[in-house]
Amino acid sequence: MSVAVFLNRSYVPLLLAVVVTSGVALIAWPLLAPIDSAPSPLLAAIPAIAVSLAFGLLLNEVVANHLTIKALAIAGIVVALAAAVRPLGAGVAGIEPMWVILILAARAFGSAIGFVIAVSAMTVSALATGGVGPWLPYQIVGAGLMAFIAGALPQWRGRAEIALLISYAAIATFFFGWIMNLWFWQSLTGLQNGIAFDATASSEDRIHAWITYNLTTSLGFDLPRALFTALLVALTAKPLLATLRRANRKFSHTATAQFRADSP
């Protein structure tokens, strides 16, 4: 059995679904399980799992879908650009311009390559800026999931697509802040009842406390991030998507020989 035949099967999408589902479950443990059942070893392994999956998806595109070296170079440029612009908005009311690049790249290249770009950009950025810590698994899973969904949105075109991407960018980046709050919320002390993590409370009460905590403390970051990203998508989606799609059509697949039935 050749490598191409193996990779052409549905194993990669299945692994993607398993890893994304597992990552969401591990990240959401404060809402679902007591504090003493925190899966810290598995949580720490999420970056390695996500990077390994990204490599597998990339290998699938190269072998099974004949992705060219030039297409890989374009993906690498997008990763480098996203990682480079990420520090520009760090710490400024939640504004992070990298999300525009990740969302539009996933839209242009598809869910698989979008996932690869997002995971790679977040990992490269963390290594380059020294941002490796207990928050990194949440960032990697959140970024990969955001890009994957962007690539899987309905394939509309024209104004409908731009409106769809603006809405998605606002919603996705708003709730990314809520995901990030999960890495430290359960360890905070001194919070008043109603927004504090309580390991003895029911899942419903913990979810309610988490929502209230986000609405009480995080809106100053989440709303500006959502509005800024939506505005940037509105301003740049049309030219950037045209450029990325043109590059994708030109370089993503190698030419294959075509034979006529009556050819010698």
CA–chain centroid gap for 227, Å, is: 19
Lowest mean pLDDT among 19-33, 71-85, 139-153, 216-230: 19-33
Average pLDDT over residues 224-231: 93
Crossing angle for the helix pair 136-152 and 111-129, nearest 10 degrees?
Answer: 150
Provide the pLDDT confidence category of residue 89 given band limits of 50, 70 and 90: low
State how far the Cα of 207 lies from the Cα of 163, in Å rounded to an integer: 31
Of residues 241 and 60, the one with the higher pLDDT is 241
Task: Output Rg (C-alpha) for the chain, integer angstroms.
Answer: 20
All structural domains of the chain with their residue ranges: 3-251
Nearest CA to 215 out of 244, 185, 187 is that of 185
Q: What pLDDT, on the 0 to 100 scale, is given for residue 5? A: 43
pTM of the predicted model as reported, rounded to 2 decimal places: 0.82
How does pLDDT run across 103-126, given as a tens digit for each residue?
999 999 988 888 889 988 998 998
In the chain, how long is the greatest CA-to-CA distance?
82
Q: What pLDDT, on the 0 to 100 scale, is given for residue 55? A: 75
Of residues 248 and 65, the one with the higher pLDDT is 248
CA–chain centroid gap for 209, Å, is: 26
State how far the Cα of 125 lies from the Cα of 87, in Å rounded to an integer: 8
How does pLDDT run across 10-31, given as a tens digit for each residue?
556 676 677 677 767 767 878 8
Q: What's the sign of the alpha-carbon dihedral 124, 129, 130, 134?
A: negative
Provide the pLDDT confidence category of residue 258 given band limits of 50, 70 and 90: very low
* In CATH, 3-251 is 1.10.1760.20: yes
Nearest CA to 157 out of 113, 108, 200, 217 is that of 108
Q: What pLDDT, on the 0 to 100 scale, is given for residue 262? A: 47
State how far the Cα of 236 lies from the Cα of 97, in Å rounded to an integer: 12
Specify whether the CB–CB gap between 50 and 16 falls below 8 A: no
Average pLDDT over residues 181-198: 88
Average pLDDT over residues 232-239: 95
Of residues 67 and 91, the one with the higher pLDDT is 67
Of residues 104 and 89, the one with the higher pLDDT is 104
